[in-house]
Structure 1
Amino acid sequence: MPSAFSAGSVGNDLESRMSGLESAEDFLEFFGVDFDPQVVRVNRLHILQRFHDYLQRADATDHAALRACLARAYGDFVRSDALTERVFRVHQRAAGIATVPLSAIGRRRAP
């Protein structure tokens, strides 16, 4: 289960009911989100990662809030694709997006 569910952020009953969910399809069916199997087949990991990302930012503690996060994550990939959404770092790097630590930025002093 994603770490967003830890520390009591979701009720024990809901968390226990979700403990057996394994696939993107399982989550979508559990939360009653209509989905196109082809979209899920192509983007399953991206959908689950985006769901996790949304949970990290949201105060999702009940079924309705979790469902909204999942529906939003799924919808991102209905309207777009994995390369455009850049969920995973490998896609970010391929697009030339990189993070540079602030300590690495500066002027070199002449000797």
Structure 2
Amino acid sequence: MPPHELRLKKGAIIMLLRNLDIVNGLCNGTRLKVEILGRYVLGCRFICGERKGQLALIPRIDNYWDKTLPFRLKRRQFPVRVAFAMTINKIMDNCTSPSPAFELEKG
């Protein structure tokens, strides 16, 4: 669940928290740079990978939770979080390029 309050400014680095469009690279964990701040949409540029520099539009989406209650709780928000820090696994998955691996044999 994204944070209930999101403070962004132009140039901030964000991380996508949901798979929005896998074919176009908008996957969970993708890092983007905010270019356009709108009320209903964020305009962001990819900062690494095949789509580096391309503009992506991120809409607000509905989030539902707590299915144990007799009513539904809904929150409409951007599925992003400011990426101040990332785990080592997310960093390795995000911007690595294939490189040759060498195996040393004992002999």
TM-score above 0.5: no
Which is richer in strand?
Answer: 2
Which is richer in helix?
Answer: 1
